[in-house]
Chain A
Amino acid sequence: MTTIKATSFESLLAALEQLANKYRTFAPTREDGVTGFRPLDQMTEEQRQAVAPIAFDNKPTVGSIKSFFFPDSETYIKFRREGRKVEQEALEAMSLQIILGAKSCDIKSVELIDKVFLADPVDSLYQEKREKSIIIATVCAEPGKSCTCREFGVSPMVPTADLLMMQGDQDAVYLTAQTAKGNHLVEQLLDLQSFVVADPLPLRSASEAPAGQLSPEQVQNKMDELFKSPLWDKLAMTCLGCGTCTYYCPTCHCYDIRDFNRKDQGVRYRTWDSCMFANFTNMAGGHNPRPTRKDRLQNRFFHKLNYFVKKQGVLACVGCGRCAELCPVGISISRVLQEIGGDIHVS
C-alpha cells in the first residue's frame, strides 16, 4: 500500500479542505479546555493549531469516535400528520466523511460495536456511516497515563484503519494507506500535489514492551465465580448512578428509541441510553428487573467482562482509560479488574 508525505501538518489540513466538496473532515481539537472532534471547517485558527498536538498525544479525546457511526441522537423518521393520516418525509442524505486522528483504542472499539450492529439484522443506520467514513489513525508514541489498551490486545502503535498517519522530521506528515478506501484517498491527495510518494516510516511496534494481556476466558470465569460477591454491593455504594461511564465509553452502545412531536409534525430518533439509569429497564407497568444501583452496575461490568465474551469471544473494553479519567468516584474497568484479582492474564 502506498505511503505519501507532506512537508507539514498544515499542508495536510489544507489538502483535506480542498476535498471539502467531497468529504467533510473531522479532527480532534480543544473547546473550552475539553478535547473532542470538530468539523475542520468550523474551527477557529487556534483550534486548528491544536489539532496536531492533540492528534499525536498519547491519549484519546474526551468523547470517542463512536459518535461518528452511532451519533448521540439520530433521526430516522420524519413525519407530518394531516387529520388521521401520517405522511413520512425524506431525510437528508449523509455525506462522506474523514475522521482524522483517531486512536488505536477507539478504532478497536468500533470494531467491537461492529460485532453487534453489523450482525444480522444489520443496523443500516450504523452501516451507512461505517461505509461512508474514512478513518485516519494516529500512532501513539507510548501508552498514556490512564491507558491500559495493551492489556486488551490493542496496540497503540499499530492501529487498524484506512490510513495511518505518522509524524516525520521537521513537521513532515506521512500517510500510509491500509485499505482500498485509504488508497483511494491517497490517490486524490497526490492529485492535489501537496504530497509526494515516500517510503513508509518504520513502526515502533518492535520496541513495544510486552504487556500482560488479559485472557478473555479467564476474566469471564473469574467474573462467573464472583457473581454473588459483595464486591458489587461495595462498588455500587459509592456509584452516583450517572451516565458518564457509558456515554464516554467507546464500546458502550445501548440506545433508546424516542418520538417527539409538536402539533402536526415530528420525528422518531434513536438516542444513546445508559444501563446505569433506573429508567432503562423500568416497564410501563412499574416492574423493574434491575431496580437497584447494584443491579445496574453489576450488569454493566458483567456485560463488558463476561456476557460479551460469551457472545462474541472478546472483552468489551479497549483500555482507553476514559472511565478511569471521568468517573467522579473512581469506579473504572481497571479498578474492577484489580478488585476481581486472581489469574486473569495470558500466561
Chain B
Amino acid sequence: MCLNPLMPINATVTNIISESSDVKTFQVKPETPINHLPGQCAMLSLLGIGDALFSITSPPGRDYLEFSIKRVGKLTEALHQLEVGDEVGIRGPYGNGFPVEDLKGKNLLFIGGGIGLAPLRSLVQYTLDNRADYPGKFQLVYGARSVDDLLFERDIKGNWPAEKDFQVNLSVDVAHPDWDGFVGYVPQYLEQLSLDPDNTVGITCGPPIMIKFVLQTLEKLGFKPEQIVTTLEYKMKCGVGKCGRCNLDEHYICKDGPVFYLSDLQKIKNDFCK
C-alpha cells in the first residue's frame, strides 16, 4: 500500500520576511527534502485550518523552500501568524513548472503583477544560477498596485539590476510623491518599452485580468503564441489532478499546469482568462 498523497509531511519555519503590509515570505525546511522545478507549487497546511497550494518562490538547489503569501483568507491569515520555529505541513511539489529546457539560450522577458512575481522569482533565480545555459538578455517588467506593494525589494531594486544584461522596469498603478517610475498598468508599460520579440520568450504571472491584457499586448508587439508562457491559477485542493475543481477543458491546472504556452491555451475551448 502506498502513502496517501494527501498526507502532508512536517516542515519547520526557518525565516520570515515581511514583504509588504499583506505579504510575507516564509522560508521552510521540510523534514524530507522536496526537489522542485521553478514554477512548481506545494501545498502548505495547518491542521485544523486547512491546506492550499502556493507557488514556490525559491529556486531549486537550496536546502529550504520559500513561499510568499498574501493574506486573503482564513488559512493565509493563520499562516501569517506563524513564527520562526513553528511547524507547518507540506506536500508536493505539484505541477509542471516552467519549460526551463526550452528557455535555454533565449532572451527572457519576465512580466509580473503583484504576488505573481513569486513563481517568476524562482525562475529568475534559477536562470541566474545557471547563467551559462541562459546567456541571453534578461528583462523584468513588474507592476504592483502601489509603491508599498512592490515585493522582493532586495531583488528588484538590489540584486537583479546589478546583474549583467538584466534590465528591471517597475511600475505602480497609483502615483506616489516618491515614485518617479512608470504609473499605470503593466500591459500599458509593455507597449512603451520597445521590446524585441526576436529570440525572446515572454513569461508572465499575475492576476487574471493582467494576464489577459499582457497576452494580448505581447501578441500585438509581435510575440508568437509559442513565445509566450503564462501561469494560471484556479482554486485547487488535491494538487494531483483528482479532486476535479481546477480543470480547464480536460486539463487539470494543478497537474498539467500551472504553466502553459499561449499556443496551447489557444486550443482550449473555455475562456482561460475568465
Whether chains A and B associate is yes
In the complex, the answer to whether B4 meets A125 with C-beta atoms within 8 Å is: yes
Tally A-B pairs: CB < 8 A: 119
Q: Give the chain B neighbours of A125 by CB distance below 8 A.
A: 4, 6
In the complex, the answer to whether A307 meets B5 with C-beta atoms within 8 Å is: no
Q: Give the chain A neighbours of B5 by CB distance below 8 A.
A: 121-124
Give Cα A235 to B237, complex, Å.
28
In the complex, the answer to whether A282 meets B244 with C-beta atoms within 8 Å is: no
Q: How large is the interface on A (under 10, 10 to 19, 20 to 34, 35 or more residues)?
A: 35 or more
Residue A315 is within 8 A (CB to CB) of chain B in the complex:
no
In the complex, the answer to whether B1 meets A270 with C-beta atoms within 8 Å is: no
A255, chain B: closest CB distance, angstroms: 5
With contacts A84-B86, A124-B2, A224-B269 taken as known, whether A287 is within 8 angstroms of B73 at the C-beta atoms is no
Give Cα A124 to B242, complex, Å.
13
Q: How large is the interface on B (under 10, 10 to 19, 20 to 34, 35 or more residues)?
A: 35 or more
B116, chain A: closest CB distance, angstroms: 12
Majority SS at the chain B contact face: loop
In the complex, the answer to whether A123 meets B242 with C-beta atoms within 8 Å is: yes
* Interface 0/1 of B252-274, CB less than 8 Å to A: 00000000000000000110001
Closest partner residue, chain B, to A270 (CB atom): B6
Residue B72 is within 8 A (CB to CB) of chain A in the complex:
yes
Stretch binding the partner chain, chosen from A46-54, A75-83, A328-336: A75-83
Q: Give the chain B neighbours of A168 by CB distance below 8 A.
A: none
Closest partner residue, chain A, to B50 (CB atom): A259
Most chain A beta carbons < 10 A, residue from B72, B207, B246, B270: B270
B240, chain A: closest CB distance, angstroms: 5
Q: Give the chain A neighbours of B50 by CB distance below 8 A.
A: 257-259
In the complex, the answer to whether A86 meets B245 with C-beta atoms within 8 Å is: no
Q: Give the chain A neighbours of B76 by CB distance below 8 A.
A: 284
In the complex, the answer to whether A254 meets B243 with C-beta atoms within 8 Å is: yes
Give Cα A176 to B234, complex, Å.
48
In the complex, the answer to whether A281 meets B250 with C-beta atoms within 8 Å is: no
Give Cα A88 to B45, complex, Å.
14
In the complex, the answer to whether A281 meets B235 with C-beta atoms within 8 Å is: yes
Q: Which 6 residue pairs spanning A and B have beta carbons closest together?
A: A284-B73, A254-B244, A261-B48, A307-B250, A121-B5, A266-B48
Q: Could you list 14 examples of A-B contacts with CB < 8 Å? A: A76-B4, A76-B7, A77-B7, A79-B48, A81-B47, A124-B4, A254-B243, A259-B50, A261-B47, A261-B48, A283-B233, A284-B75, A287-B207, A289-B270
**Given A77-B47, A259-B49, A284-B73, list of 12 further CB < 8 A pairs?**
A79-B47, A88-B47, A121-B5, A123-B5, A123-B6, A127-B1, A257-B238, A268-B45, A281-B234, A289-B248, A290-B274, A306-B250
